[in-house]
Amino acid sequence: MPTQFLNFDLPENHNLYPSTSLALGNCNSLRYYAEMASKLAQDGRFNDSLMIAESVVVSGVNAVEFADLLNVKLVSSGIVRLLEEGKVGSVVELLNGAMQLGIDPLKLLDRGAINSLSQECRRTMECGEIEEIVSFMETLKGCGMPIKDFVRPYEIIRLCVSQRKPNAAVRYAHIFPHADIMFCTIILEFGKKGDLVSALTVFEASKQNQDTPNLYIYRTIIDVCGLCGDYLKSRSIYEGLIAIKNTPNIYVFNSLMNVNSCDLSYTLDIYKQMQKLGVPADLTSYNILLKSCCLATRVDLAKEIYGELKLLELAGAMKLDVFTYSTLIKVFADAKMWQMAIEIKKDMLSAGVTPNIVTWSSLISACANAGLVDQAIQLFEEMLQAGCEPNSQCYNILLHACVEACQYDRAFRLFRLWKEHALQKDNCEDFGSKTDNTIDLSSTLVVSASIPNCTSASPRGHFSMRVPFRPTTSTYNILMKACGSDYYRAKALMEEMKEVGLSPNHISWSILIDICGGSGNVEGALQILRAMRDAGIQPDVVTYTTIIKVCVENKDFKSAFSLFVAMKRYQIKPNMVTYNTLLRARSQYGSLLEVQQCLAIYQDMRKAGYKPNDYYLKQLIEQWCEGVIQNGNQRKCNFSTRNRTDLGPESMILEKVAEHLQKDSANSISINLRGLSKVEARIVVLAVLRMIREKYTAGDSIKDDVQIFLGVQEVGIRAVRHESVVKEAIIKLLQHDLGLEVISTAPRIGNDRNQDGINHPDKYSKVEENAERVILRANVHFPTRRPVVLQKLRITKESLQSWLIRRLDAPAVHR
DNA sequence: ATAGGGTTAG
């Protein structure tokens, strides 16, 4: 018997040894202890109450028998009181304690207590104490309470998601008998918030106590990868599934293909894998493949798939649906093949598939992309006649069609028409109820099918239908584009957007910048960029590219470059368009700094993984380098036509030039021509000379000879020949074209037919050539015995100096 | 349970 018992404030005549008396089978005693426990609970002394219960149970009494004798009202009032005092912990202990003794905690609770518990749940929820609420839920669930009635599971999940608490969410999921379903919901919710890290945490936790993977969860996390833009992650999740020798089902495959639809080759690969694993593709699989073709602009392949699908349909194995046809229409719409899109529509109708709003939108978009506004409007009317209600997106496509075709007035007329109808409707319904002058465009409007300016042969419809017209931010953005160069009109539209309760987004601001900058107002455009930031809208890569374009167009290269630096500081990754906009800034290079800046951008572009395939840039650099040779346009022209064929797309010339122009010219200059072709070597040498000239003009003196490394003899006769060709060309360039003094400072290898012969007797080279053959064979076993002979040229300091002075006397042509 | 349409920069 616990000694604490003695300290209790017990009623008179109590028996300190319940077990003894109970052993005597005294029913009254049991009733007595139950009452005592109840009273203690009423006073909030749960520990003591539990102690009695424990003793009773230990003495061999059935817990249920004892529980039946407890006074629910008393116990419940104690629970209510403690909850009011905020002592949730004690209540939890009581409930857990009862359970351990085999007493159903539900038997201790009346309606009032349950209400209090429910209130406590709500309070904890409102305080956002997610860990507490989950613990509480665990207890309540353990007691067999209907926790779903206390707090809706979705609320708890949302709280976990907003607080980024994946572990709490996992604990909560485990409360449910079918935790997997909860896991999916949770993963998806994290995904919708873009929190892939948390989603993955939940995913990993869900794998813990599972002998076989739940494919539903796998599918969900793959979808979430797509939602969060990390499609590569979805691949590793799929590989994880394959690694544990599990065959994914069609849902996993379809999701994986969908998430990776931006990569057609991968999608096709997965398609093949599923065939290999014996998972038959369904219509969704094919629809996703079509989507992937669409994204990859592979019209041919999409056609092929369509052909196969038609065969399958003929065989009765498939029934193409509205998704198939809509996607196909999109394929052709994007490819500007509007007739084909119309063909698909015919196919669809004859197959008995009804076009829906998406199909119609894609069809309208097909005409829009082809610049056929009348056709687009005709289709719009046809859609209305078919009883299909347009939505905002559809309106936007139509407006965009007008804008693309530069029919700005028409776009505004359509917009005004739709808006007026909305107002009419609004006035009819609650006339005079509006006190402010804001326009509620969210109501339904009546639109007549007869649209102004419709020159097509379409029937002037006398029907009208109820059409919801809700302009979106997109609608206004398109209209802002329709302002052409009218900056104030665009600005007014942005104001109107705010008045109707829409928020301008980064696109709206970018358009405004474009329009402002289009009129040559660089400073104004820069101001808008600042205003945008002040408004809390973060510029994106397009915003920056737009404003860089504005600067470039107005020859403000300094601002363009500093904007480029700024965007990188804001961790906005430039893309191909950004780089090209910057690199195409100049039609000719002047200063060394300009060239260095440009090459830095070029190198950055390469580092970012963009293919440097810019002939224009190469041409500019070559032009700049050639500028160092003054005499004769003839030679220059000659050269530029020749080198365009010589510099293949693989040429690393810009990289090489960049490398040399970055060198610190304060120290001695050296030029490394190893591995370069004749043409490339020429450009690099000229680039360095031009740099020297620029630096000299700026006040730097010539400190040393310029070293030119031609390469190391190591590859064999062929390489030697090639190198001597380069060497000859460079010597010719330096001596003949530029009048510089060149000294060859290394023992020559191979048959050099050059005339400069300062210190190379012919017999020496013969010996070397013979030695080469021998060494090549021996080299396999004794690599260290291979002689490494560096080919080197040197331009003397003195001749450079006199060259530079000559330069100054006769100013350069290319400036 | 999976899938589809609109707006910005070259």
Res. A717: pLDDT tops 70 = no
Residue A727 Cβ under 7 A from any strand B atom: no
- What is the structure's pLDDT at A159? 94
Q: Is the CB of A480 under 7 A from strand B?
A: no
pLDDT digits (tens, 9 = 90+) for A143-201: 888 888 889 999 999 999 999 999 999 999 999 988 999 999 999 999 999 999 999 99
Question: Which nucleotide, over all strands, has the C1' atom closest to the CA of A287?
Answer: B3
Average pLDDT over residues A247-259: 96
Q: What is the pLDDT of residue A530?
A: 95
Maximum C-alpha span of chain A: 131
From the alpha carbon of A511, which nucleotide's C1' atom is closest?
B8
Rounded Cα distance between A179 and A738, Å, is: 81
Strand B close to A543 by CB, under 7 A: yes
Please enumerate in sequence order all residues whose Cβ is within 8 A of that of A88, keeping only pairs 6 or more positions apart, or say none.
A82, A120, A124, A132, A136
Which pLDDT belongs to residue A747?
Answer: 55
Q: If 0-12 CB within 10 Å is exposed, 13-18 middle and 19+ buried, where does residue A380 land? A: buried
Is any atom of strand B within 7 angstroms of residue A55's beta carbon? no
Q: Is A138 exposed, middle or buried (0-12, 13-18, 19+ CB in 10 A)?
A: middle
Give the CA-to-C1' distance from A362 to B6 in angstroms: 10
| Top-confidence residue, A278 or A10 | A278
Q: Is the CB of A287 under 7 A from strand B?
A: yes
- Residue A541's nearest nucleotide, by CA–C1', is B9
**Percent of chain A topping pLDDT 70:** 78
A733: DSSP letter: I
The nt closest to A255 (CA vs C1′) is B2
Q: Name the band, by pLDDT with cuts 50, 70 and 90, for residue A766.
A: very low
pLDDT of residue A810: 57
Rounded to whole angstroms, how far apart are CA atoms A656 and A668? 18
Strands A706-712 and A670-672, by their bridges, are parallel
Provide the 10 A C-beta neighbour count for residue A198. 24
- A130/A454: higher pLDDT: A130
End-to-end CA distance of chain A: 106
Q: A741-747 long-range CB contacts below 8 Å, 24 or more apart? A: A741/A795, A741/A796, A741/A798, A741/A799, A742/A793, A742/A794, A742/A795, A742/A796, A743/A793, A743/A794, A743/A796, A744/A792, A744/A793, A744/A794, A745/A792, A745/A793, A745/A794, A746/A789, A746/A790, A746/A791, A746/A792, A747/A789
| pLDDT at A429 exceeding the cut of 50 | no
Determine the pLDDT at residue A767: 39
Q: Is A431:A361 a contact under the CB 8 Å cutoff?
A: no
DSSP state at residue A182: H
pLDDT at A720 over 90: no
Task: Report residue A622: phi and psi, to 5°.
Answer: -60, -45
pLDDT per residue as tens digits for the range A559-596: 998 999 999 999 999 998 998 888 876 666 667 777 77
Say what the pLDDT of residue A510 is: 96
What does each C-alpha distance from A660 to A333, A665, A709, A724 come to in angstroms? 48, 10, 13, 22
CA–CA separation, A219 and A358 (whole Å): 26
A125-141 residue pLDDT tens: 999 989 989 998 998 98
- The per-residue pLDDT for range A33-69, each reduced to its tens digit, is 999 999 999 999 999 999 999 999 998 899 999 999 9
pLDDT beyond 90 at A756: no
- A735 falls in which pLDDT band (50, 70, 90)? confident
CA distance linking residue A152 with residue A371, whole number of Å:
52
What is the arithmetic mean of pLDDT over A298-325? Answer: 94
**Nucleic chain B: which protein residues 374-393 of A have CB below 7 A from it?**
391-393
pLDDT band (50, 70, 90) for residue A743: confident
pTM given for the model: 0.74
Using one digit for the tens of pLDDT, what is the confidence trace for A524-565? 999 999 999 999 999 999 999 999 999 988 888 889 989 999
Q: In this predicted model, what pLDDT tens digit does every residue of A334-346 receive, in sequence order?
A: 999 999 999 999 9
What's the CA–C1' distance between A360 and B2, in Å? 23
Nucleotides on chain B that have an atom closer than 7 A to a protein CB are: 1-10
Strand B within 7 A of A581 CB? yes
Question: Per-residue pLDDT averaged across A120-126, rounded?
Answer: 91
| Gap from A483 CA to B7 C1', Å | 14
- The predicted-structure confidence for A616-671, as pLDDT tens digits, reads as follows 677 777 777 777 676 433 344 444 444 444 566 566 777 777 777 776 555 678 88
> Does residue A388 register a pLDDT over 60?
yes
